Amino acid sequence: MVIAAVFAGGKGSRMGNTETPKQYMMLGKKPIIVHTIEKFYINSKIDKVIVLSPAIWVEQTKDLVKKYIGDTEKVSVICGGGTRNDTLMCALEYVKENYGLNEDDIILTHDAVRPFVTHRIIDENISCTLETGACDTVICATDTIVESLDGKTISAIPERKLMYQGQTPQSFKIKKLYEICKSLTDEEKEILTDACKIYTLKGEPVSLVQGEVFNIKITYPYDLKIANALLEGGKKND
């Protein structure tokens, strides 16, 4: 079974003055989250799409799915958690409860605010995870990455050609992911906010899948402006 978990957690506190969580803002004629869900919904390799929404947005998210996608059992909207790790655990517990955790089942975790994800990226996440157990979607770093331990002076500048920028999806064999997450102590959970980081620190290999520069994360108002400009930049067919 292949499951997609679309993470729509958070309160959108970084969207300037607006109170609306960023994934519910309009991109073209649809909310960002709808564009994202559609990509996983139409992919026949994916058996189930779980949308994890902030508690107070669950009903509205269900409304949006019904309005734009229609009545479907393929998409379920459930409540996410307060942190990324909590949201991940909500997804895993939901799968465990409804389908059981099977050795060969995989889960793709994706940010609701990355609507530009492509069919290829999704397909390669599936094939790569089936083959190697876990993968992360990345692009080559274009900016030099500077490390500073004290926030005042540079402590190191890693070699750029070895640096990548992480995107999503991040994908895993679900049973293994569940076991690893369950083994974390509270202190580890505080620090390990990224599932791939958890794997890496536990010595588990994570393969790389080539992302796209345009698979942007709509985090700030600036990003939304760019996303809208990209979308409206298309010429109308005449």
List of residues contacting other proteins (CB under 8 A): 27-30, 35, 38-39, 41-44, 68-70, 115-116, 118-120, 210, 214, 230-231, 233-235, 237-238
Q: Give the residue with the Cβ less far from other proteins, 65 or 181.
A: 65
Could you tell me the smallest distance in angstroms from the CB atom of residue 69 to other proteins?
A: 7
Could you tell me the smallest distance in angstroms from the CB atom of residue 38 to other proteins?
A: 4
Residues 6 or more apart in contact with residue 121 via CB below 8 angstroms: 137, 169, 209, 210, 211, 212, 215
Strand partners, 156: 147
The single residue listed with the structure tokens 């997804």 is 91
User: Helix (H, G, I), strand (E, B), or coil: what is residue 185?
Assistant: coil
Could you tell me the smallest distance in angstroms from the CB atom of residue 121 to other proteins?
A: 10
d(Cα 198, Cα 181) in Å, to the nearest integer? 8
Radius of gyration of the chain from its Cα atoms, rounded to whole angstroms: 18
Determine whether 230 is exposed, middle or buried from the number of CB atoms within 10 Å of its CB (0-12, 13-18, 19+).
middle
Could you tell me the smallest distance in angstroms from the CB atom of residue 62 to other proteins?
A: 17
Q: Return the number of other C-beta atoms located less than 10 Å from residue 203's C-beta.
A: 6
d(Cα 182, Cα 40) in Å, to the nearest integer? 27
- The H-assigned helical ranges of 13-172 are 32-41, 58-68, 84-99, 119-132
Q: Give the residue with the Cβ less far from other proteins, 5 or 27.
A: 27
Q: Give the residue with the Cβ less far from other proteins, 70 or 203.
A: 70
Q: Give the residue with the Cβ less far from other proteins, 77 or 177.
A: 77
d(Cα 231, Cα 94) in Å, to the nearest integer? 34
Q: Give the residue with the Cβ less far from other proteins, 105 or 124.
A: 124
Q: Give the residue with the Cβ less far from other proteins, 47 or 179.
A: 47
Q: Give the residue with the Cβ less far from other proteins, 39 or 175.
A: 39
Could you tell me the smallest distance in angstroms from the CB atom of residue 226 to other proteins?
A: 11
d(Cα 223, Cα 220) in Å, to the nearest integer? 5
Could you tell me the smallest distance in angstroms from the CB atom of residue 1 to other proteins?
A: 16
Could you tell me the smallest distance in angstroms from the CB atom of residue 176 to other proteins?
A: 28
